[in-house]
Amino acid sequence: MSQTNVWDKVDQYITERLIQNDAILEKVLSTNQKAGLPAYDVSPTQGKFLNLLIQMQRSSRILEIGTLGGYSTIWMARALPTEGKIVTLELDSHHAQVAAGNLCLAEVQDKVELRVGDALEQLAQMSNEGVEPFDFIFIDADKPNNPYYLKWALHFSRPGTVIIGDNVIREGEVINENSQDPRVQGVRAFYDLLADENRIEATAIQTVGSKGYDGFVFGFVTC
């Protein structure tokens, strides 16, 4: 059995034992696939991990950069208290349309503000609107812009805000300083900014599973 098959089977085992079967989330993934969205969604284990982090932190305001079909959005929205809110940003209007339908299916649409358009432009607009800081920020969009997303995440943070960045290992390519892949270089610049930024304490965790070999950055805003 290949290593990748082992990862898949372990993920399946964990999902079967610890994550309740959810017909709505399964329908969301099916809808995304039928709509031609790329299979970039977090895995069920990762979705529940985000959900648990939000519950542990008792977050009531979440910013998500990169909606895709809303699968991770639903996992996070379900962790919010009744008065909680998640603002999620999506560039692609087709993806956003699919996500809007999925959010309604999951009955979390009242907790979600879905903003469509270039994320950097949306973030600047939010700043102009005087949007208040968030408790939890999930960055999962185009990797070349990760450093800029982090700067905006810090702008919309307060002491105690948690910032999570997805896909930060790139199957180990993150250590290749000569990579010609702009996604790898974007992630490397993301790390550089984290290393130099004194407002945030951060680490990264490598992950394996149904999504392959990758990882998360975990940041805690201190000031």
Q: Hey, what amino acid is at 159? A: P
CA dihedral 178, 184, 189, 195 (to 10 degrees): -100
Q: What is the pLDDT of residue 1?
A: 66
Q: What is the pLDDT of residue 4?
A: 82
Q: Measure the CA–CA gap between 209 and 214, rounded to whole angstroms.
A: 9
Q: What is the pLDDT of residue 158?
A: 98
Q: Hey, what amino acid is at 219? A: G
Q: Which long-range contacts (CB under 8 A, 24 or more apart) does 147-152 make?
A: 147/186, 147/189, 147/190, 147/192, 147/193, 148/120, 149/65, 149/119, 149/120, 149/123, 150/190, 150/193, 150/194, 150/197, 151/193, 152/65, 152/120, 152/123, 152/127
Under 8 Å between Cβ of 219 and 196: no
Range 3-221 has CATH code 3.40.5.50: no
Tokens (6 digits) for 135: 């408790």
Q: Measure the CA–CA gap between 169 and 1, rounded to whole angstroms.
A: 24
Q: Measure the CA–CA gap between 187 and 144, rounded to whole angstroms.
A: 7
Q: Where are the domains of the chain?
A: 3-221
Under 8 Å between Cβ of 62 and 89: no
**Within the chain, how many helices (H) and strands (E) appear?**
8, 7
How confident is the chain (223 residues) per 10-residue block, as mean pLDDT?
87 95 97 97 97 98 98 98 97 98 98 98 98 98 98 98 98 97 98 97 96 96 97
Under 8 Å between Cβ of 64 and 72: yes
Q: What is the pLDDT of residue 3?
A: 81
Instruction: Using alpha carbons only, give the angle 166, 149, 158 rounded to the nearest 5 degrees.
Output: 95
Under 8 Å between Cβ of 140 and 166: yes
